[in-house]
Structure 1
Amino acid sequence: MSLPEAMLDADAGQKDFVAELKTASLWGDAWKRFRRNKLALIGMGFITLLILTAIFADFIAPYSITERDSGQFRAPPSSDHWFGTDIIGRDVFSRIIYGSRVSLRIGIFSTVIAMIIGILVGSFAGFVGGKTEGFIMRLIDMMLSIPYIILAIAVATVFGRSENSVILVLGLTGWLAVARIVRSTFLQLKKMEYVEAAHALGFGRFRIMYRHILPNALQPIIVFGTIAIGSTILAEAALSFLGVGPQDPTPAWGLMVSQGKGDLANAPHLTLFPGLAIALTVLAFIFIGDGLRDALDPKMKDR
C-alpha cells in the first residue's frame, strides 16, 4: 500500500472513530436528561416490573387462569384471594398477572407492525414528494376516516376473536399516524445539506432514505412508538370490552372489566383492579414517552 493510500485509510478510520464518539456522547447526554425526569423513571420502573411479572407469571400467580374456588363467587379481597374472585370463582389477582402477558404481547406486536408499515410508507411519501406523496396522503386520510372499531368487527368476523385478530387490527390501523409523522420529518430533513451531498455523490434513493435520513428522524419515531404501545393497550382493552377482542378464558384486562361491569355495585373489585392495571400501564408508557421526548430533544440539552 502506498503512503497516500495509507494516509487516506487512517483519515477515514479517524473520522469513523470521531463519529462513534459523538454518537456515544449524544446517547449519553440523552440518558442523563432522561434520568432527571422522575416521572419517566417511575414509568420505566413500572414497565420493567410489568415485563418481569409477565415473564414469571407462572411463579407469581397463586392460581391458574381457569382454577375455581367453589363457594367463592364474587368474593371480596381476602388473604386467600388478594383481589377477590370473579363471577365463577376464579382468582382476579392471578388473572391480572397472566393478563399482563396478553396486554404486552398485543401492545408490542401491534406497535411493531404499525411502525414498520408507517416508516416504509411515510419515508417514501416524504422523500419522493409530488403527486405520489399527495396520493398516499389522501389515501391515508380516507383510511383515518374509518373507525377502527368497524375494521375490528370485520376482521374478527373473518379470522375469529383472538389475540392475533386484535394485533392485526391495531397494527393495520396504527401505521397511519406513524406514516404522517415520518412523512413530515422526511420533508424537513431531505432539504438538509448532507442529503444534497449524498445526491451529488450518486448514492441511490433507498440508501439516502434509510441510511442517511432515517437515523436523523428516529427521535420523533421513538417517542411516538413508546406512547403508541400504551395507546394500543388501551385500544385492546376497548375492543375486549366490546367483545371483539380475546374471548374467555383468556385473561384480557378489558374483557375482565366488561365481565364485571354488571356487578359494579355489588362487587366493584371486578372492574376496579383490571381497570387500575390498564390505567397504570398506559400512564407509565406516557411518562416514558414524555421523558424520551425531552431527553432526545437537542433544545433540552442545557436544561
Structure 2
Amino acid sequence: MSNLDTEVVVNSPESTVATSLWADAWKQFKRNKLALVGLGFIVFVLLTAVFADLIAPYSITDRDVGRSREGPSGDHWFGTDIIGRDLFSRVVYGARVSMKIGLAATSIALVVGVIFGALAGYIGKFVESAIMRFIDVFLAIPYIILAIAIATVFGKSENSVIIVLGFTGWLGVARIVRASFLQLKKQEFVEAAQALGFGRVRIMFRHILPNALQPIIVYGTIAIGSTILSEAALSFLGVGPQDPTPAWGLMVSQGRSDLANAPHLLFFPGLAIALTVTAFVFVGDGLRDALDPKLKDR
C-alpha cells in the first residue's frame, strides 16, 4: 500500500468523527437559550458595525449647536454629548471601533499563541522551557504599562490598542495550546503520522491542531469580549483612541464628570459595552458546554 493510500486510511476516520462532533456540538449549542440570545446580539452588533453609515442619522462630528448635554429626544434618541454631537450615532459607529479592535487583537493573540503553544507542547525540552519562561516574564508586566509605552511610541490610536491587546493576549492561548498538545502528542494517530515520516510542522498543524481546536475556540470567543472590555478600560484611561473617534470607553470617560446632570452620556455607551461583553460570555459558555463530551446527554 502506498503512502498516499495509507494516509487516506489514517485520516478518513478523523474527518468523519470531526464532522459528527461539530454537528452534535451545534445541536447541543442550540439547546442553550442564553447562548442563542448572545449569538443573536453579536450578529446584531456586527451588522450595526457594518451598516453604521446607513443606521446613524448623523456623522460622528456633526454638532447641534446650543443643545449640548441634552437628554434623549425625537431628534437625538440617546441625547447629545458635551459639545452637541448625536450620542446615538456615536454609539452606533462605536460598534465598528470596538468590534474591529476585539476581532483584530484576538486574532493576533490566537495566531501567536497557537504557534508558541504548539512549539512548546510538541517539541518540549529546551524550547518548551524557554517559551514558558518568556511567558512568565510577560505575565509579570501589567498590560497597562505596556499600553502606555506603546502609545508613546506609536501614538494613541486604535492600532496601538490592537498591538497592546494582541501581543499580551496570546499568553493565555499559548498555555492552553501547550496543555492540549502535551496530551494529544501521545495519541496513536500522532504515532502513525510519525511512522509515515511526516515532518514536525505537518504533524503539529495538520494532525494535532484540529484535535485541539475545541478549547481554543471557546477561549477565543470569550477573549473577544474581554478584549472589548480592555479596550474600553484603555480608552477610559486616555491611552486608547482619541476624540473624535467614537470609542465606547472614551465616551464613558467623557461622560463620567456629568453623571449627575447628564447620566445618558455614560449610560448608553456603558450599556453597549456591558451587553456586548455579556453576549460573548454567553456564547463562550454555550460553546464550552456544547464541545464538552461529558455534557452531551444533559
Q: TM-score range by the shorter chain?
A: over 0.9
Pair 1:158-2:153 in alignment: yes
Pair 1:81-2:68 in alignment: no
**Contact conserved, 2:91 with 2:269, CA < 8 A, in 1?**
yes
What's the secondary structure of 1:68's corresponding residue? coil
Aligned to 2:216: 221
Query: Which of 249, 269, 280 matches 2:244?
Result: 249
Summarize the alignment of residues 60-209 of structure 1 with structure 2, pairs less than 5 Å apart: 60-209=55-204
Aligned to 2:226: 231
**CA drift at 1:20:** 4.2
Partners of 2:223 and 2:11 in 1: CA distance: 34
Structure 2 gaps of 5+ residues are none
**CA drift at 1:286:** 0.5
Structure 1 gaps of 5+ residues are none
**Contact conserved, 2:101 with 2:161, CA < 8 A, in 1?**
yes
Partners of 1:299 and 1:124 in 2: CA distance: 29
Q: Which amino acid aligns with 1:282?
A: V
Aligned to 2:51: 56
**CA drift at 1:131:** 2.6
Partners of 1:15 and 1:42 in 2: CA distance: 39
Pair 1:210-2:205 in alignment: yes
Query: Which of 261, 266, 276 matches 1:271?
Result: 266
Q: Which amino acid aligns with 1:99?
A: G
CA RMSD of superposed structures (Å):
1.8
**CA drift at 1:71:** 1.2
**Contact conserved, 2:119 with 2:127, CA < 8 A, in 1?**
no
Partners of 1:201 and 1:16 in 2: CA distance: 12
Number of equivalent positions: 297
Pair 1:294-2:294 in alignment: no
Judged with a 3 Å threshold, the aligned counterparts in structure 2 of structure 1 residues 138 and 15 are, in CA distance, closer, same or farther, namely: closer
**Identity across matched positions, percent:** 71
Judged with a 3 Å threshold, the aligned counterparts in structure 2 of structure 1 residues 178 and 74 are, in CA distance, closer, same or farther, namely: same
Aligned to 2:257: 262
Partners of 1:281 and 1:200 in 2: CA distance: 48
The structure 1 segments of at least 4 consecutive aligned residues displaced by more than 6 Å after TM superposition are 11-17
Q: Deviations over 1:220-242 (max 9, x none)?
A: 00000000000000000000000
TM-score by length of 2: 0.95
**CA drift at 1:132:** 2.1
**CA drift at 1:15:** 7.8
Q: Deviations over 1:183-230 (max 9, x none)?
A: 111111111122122222222111111111101000000000000000
Partners of 1:121 and 1:13 in 2: CA distance: 29
**CA drift at 1:24:** 2.4
Q: Which amino acid aligns with 2:33?
A: K
Aligned to 2:279: 284
What's the secondary structure of 2:70's corresponding residue? coil
Q: Deviations over 1:17-75 (max 9, x none)?
A: 66544332221111000000001000000000001111111111111100011111100
Partners of 1:222 and 1:229 in 2: CA distance: 11
Q: Which amino acid aligns with 1:56?
A: F
Q: Which amino acid aligns with 1:147?
A: P
Summarize the alignment of residues 1-12 of structure 1 with structure 2, pairs less than 5 Å apart: none
Judged with a 3 Å threshold, the aligned counterparts in structure 2 of structure 1 residues 264 and 148 are, in CA distance, closer, same or farther, namely: same
Judged with a 3 Å threshold, the aligned counterparts in structure 2 of structure 1 residues 285 and 241 are, in CA distance, closer, same or farther, namely: same
Partners of 2:152 and 2:134 in 1: CA distance: 25
Partners of 1:214 and 1:115 in 2: CA distance: 12
Partners of 1:219 and 1:201 in 2: CA distance: 26
Partners of 1:111 and 1:18 in 2: CA distance: 32
